[in-house]
Structure 1
Amino acid sequence: MSFYISYPMKSAVVLYIPKGTTKEIITQLKSQNYDVSKVDAYITRLFGFTQSGYIEMPSTTLTKGEFLYYLVKSKAATRKFTLIPGETSYFFLRDLASAYNLNIDKLEKLYNQKFPYTDGVILANTYYLPYTASEERLTDILLDTSMQEQKRLAIELTGSYNQKKWFKVITKASIIQKEAANTSEMPIISGVIDNRIKIGMPLQMDGSLNYGKYSHIRVTPERIQNDKTTFNTYKYLGLPKEPSGSVSIAAIKAALHPAKVPYLYFMRNDKGTHNFSTTYQAHLNNVEKRQKTLDITDKAR
């Protein structure tokens, strides 16, 4: 017996186990050219009851004893997806549809029907989703997981949860996420947003216009002129009606705890971070310095 269970055999990393008795499962595996026999059904039962569905084996080369053990003890196989901070559901859903070979139109329709906001509900994070899933199941899993986590975070960070109020925080955080060069800048950007809103000044932030399918497209004067949504913070005062992308915990904390700064303006410098200023003239000076740096760089090429 010791020799028998130590005999090496091959296995797929992800293995599909059909529903049925242990004996029936072993028979199915044998029909798929796995090196198993009737006696293996009895050995497997010593470990417990076999699972059904997709399971993940630790290796493609196992001993027979290990193979039979993992038929019972392996975790369900999952797919790993990462939603990066600032990315939009438009692209995330397309990644999911491609990986699962799903209908993107059906997936988007279900998403828009079930989710309370187009973006910002699914937090920037890594998700382990079922190996196989329909459009509806995938949408339900993401919605349930996300709304539970949003509620948990709201209670942890503010002491209570009101969906409408909380997603105003997420909306602000989504702009901070796209505008800040790093996490240390986030509270400062948050302070600038509050300062502008306080005096009735438009936010005029490109990050809000990088929503949906425009996530990776540079904001042009034409976009600013033609975009009629509340994401256009050049035209409309205050925050947009909903988040413009996914957010990290750091961006949420910055939205809740803005830095007490006098700044109203900021612009990206040649180091990739931002120069902040209080007056428009100081901002123009920063713009001029930056332009001179770019001109010098162009001449050096």
Structure 2
Amino acid sequence: MKRNILTIMKWSFEIALVMLISFIYYLNMIVVTPTVVYIPSGSIDKIITQLSRQNYNVTKLDALILRFLGSPQKGWIYIGSEKVTRADFLYRLTTAKAATEDVTLIPGETTYIFLNQLSESLKLDRELLQKYYDRYSKYKEGEFVPNTYKLPIGISEENLIKTLLAASDRQMRELSFKIFGKYDKDRWFRYVTVASIIQKEAASIEEMPLVSSVIYNRIKKGMKLQMDGSLNYGEYSHIKITHKRIMTDKSSYNTYLYRGIPDAPVCNVSIEAIKAAIFPAKTSYLYFVKAKNNRHVFSCNYSTHIKNINNATK
């Protein structure tokens, strides 16, 4: 009887030892991970399930371990290494903070320039940023809402574009529902296109509804918009518009050549510019010119407009 008890104790010890060794081996297995990981909100089980769907080699045992370590941080977190032990990976899920960098998209800036900025600030591949923007955006321009974004250092080009597009779409969707009670993206982006010209032309937020009124008044009369700002698209964002450019640019952005608004937005626009496009001021203005104080002088007829031009150049 005593011998049986000793045998059982020996087996139990050996089993426990094997389990301990296996557990230590399990914790020391290598986990391959991006340096930045997105942790969804929810329970630990939900987090493990989501990570598994993202092709992380995590199991229900990891969920159990996390219950002892603590709940993982939510959002983008900085892991720091692409290859870590499972124990270190689970520990970092509960302790790592998001290492972020502020990147500001200025109202009126084009996506071409903004992607250059992102590439330089976050040390990302410019061609990949363009590739994923083209893949996930419906429109060539105007998909981003100007704002200051806290972006995780180490985020991939694909995740960055998806994150920015999702954040911008959410802001536009919320504003559309507030104004119209629904969100029709194609209809909305016609307003964004008008807003992009307003953004390029207006000297201030206060001027935006006035510039908007000129756009709609000229369209109503069948007049070409003839606005330089429409030609500050893409890589030409900061290029002064010349007579030669006006005569040679055959794109739909050339409002000297074509009537109506361009086929797509000129740039990324502020919420204020969108509101001005939806709610133009009620005026009879057809012209405006920048005065010496850098504000615009508006007029209803061409003769007054010429006088205003002459006054501005004196």
Q: Distance between the aligned counterparts of 2:297 and 2:143, measured in 1?
A: 31
Q: Distance between the aligned counterparts of 1:116 and 1:87, measured in 2?
A: 18
Check the 8 A contact 2:255/2:261 in 1, yes or no.
yes
Amino acid at match of 1:270: K
Structure 1 partner of 2:143: 121
Q: TM-score, normalised by structure 1?
A: 0.74
Structure 1 partner of 2:176: 154
> Are 1:218 and 2:260 counterparts?
no
Q: What does the per-residue CA deviation read over 1:142-187, in whole Å, with 9 as the maximum and x for residues that have no partner? A: 2222222222221112221111100000000111111111111110
1:96 alignment partner, one of 107, 118, 130: 118
Check the 8 A contact 1:121/1:146 in 2, yes or no.
yes
Amino acid at match of 1:54: Y
Structure 1 partner of 2:296: 274
1:248 alignment partner, one of 270, 277, 282: 270
Residues 180 and 47 of structure 1: CA distance in aligned 2, closer, same or farther (over 3 Å): same
Identity %: 48
> Are 1:231 and 2:253 counterparts?
yes
SS at match of 2:207: helix
- What is the CA distance between 1:201 and its match in structure 2? 0.2
Q: Distance between the aligned counterparts of 1:123 and 1:143, measured in 2?
A: 9
Q: Distance between the aligned counterparts of 1:154 and 1:125, measured in 2?
A: 18
- What is the CA distance between 1:74 and its match in structure 2? 6.0
> Are 1:54 and 2:78 counterparts?
yes
Q: Distance between the aligned counterparts of 2:186 and 2:100, measured in 1?
A: 33
Q: Distance between the aligned counterparts of 2:282 and 2:237, measured in 1?
A: 29
- What is the CA distance between 1:248 and its match in structure 2? 0.9
Structure 1 partner of 2:155: 133
SS at match of 1:168: helix
Residues 71 and 272 of structure 1: CA distance in aligned 2, closer, same or farther (over 3 Å): same
Q: Distance between the aligned counterparts of 1:148 and 1:21, measured in 2?
A: 40
2:192 alignment partner, one of 167, 170, 175: 170
Amino acid at match of 1:153: L
Amino acid at match of 2:286: L
- What is the CA distance between 1:222 and its match in structure 2? 0.9
- What is the CA distance between 1:125 and its match in structure 2? 0.8
Structure 2 partner of 1:5: none
Amino acid at match of 1:96: L
Alignment root-mean-square deviation, CA: 2.7
Q: What does the per-residue CA deviation read over 1:125-147, in whole Å, with 9 as the maximum and x for residues that have no partner? A: 11112221122111211222222
Check the 8 A contact 1:55/1:77 in 2, yes or no.
no
Amino acid at match of 1:267: V
Q: What does the per-residue CA deviation read over 1:182-201, in whole Å, with 9 as the maximum and x for residues that have no partner? A: 11111000100000000000
Specify every segment of 5 or more residues in structure 2 that has no aligned partner in the other structure, as ranges: 1-25, 31-66, 81-91
- What is the CA distance between 1:76 and its match in structure 2? 1.7
Check the 8 A contact 2:77/2:97 in 1, yes or no.
no
Structure 1 partner of 2:107: 85
Q: Distance between the aligned counterparts of 2:72 and 2:131, measured in 1?
A: 37
SS at match of 1:285: helix
SS at match of 2:206: helix
Amino acid at match of 1:241: D
2:224 alignment partner, one of 202, 220, 224: 202
2:312 alignment partner, one of 283, 286, 290: 290
Residues 266 and 137 of structure 1: CA distance in aligned 2, closer, same or farther (over 3 Å): same
- What is the CA distance between 1:101 and its match in structure 2? 2.1
Count of matched residue positions in the alignment of Structure 1 and Structure 2: 242
Residues 240 and 74 of structure 1: CA distance in aligned 2, closer, same or farther (over 3 Å): same
SS at match of 2:298: strand
- What is the CA distance between 1:207 and its match in structure 2? 1.0
Q: Distance between the aligned counterparts of 1:164 and 1:49, measured in 2?
A: 42
Q: Distance between the aligned counterparts of 1:182 and 1:55, measured in 2?
A: 43
Larger Rg: 2
Check the 8 A contact 1:277/1:283 in 2, yes or no.
yes
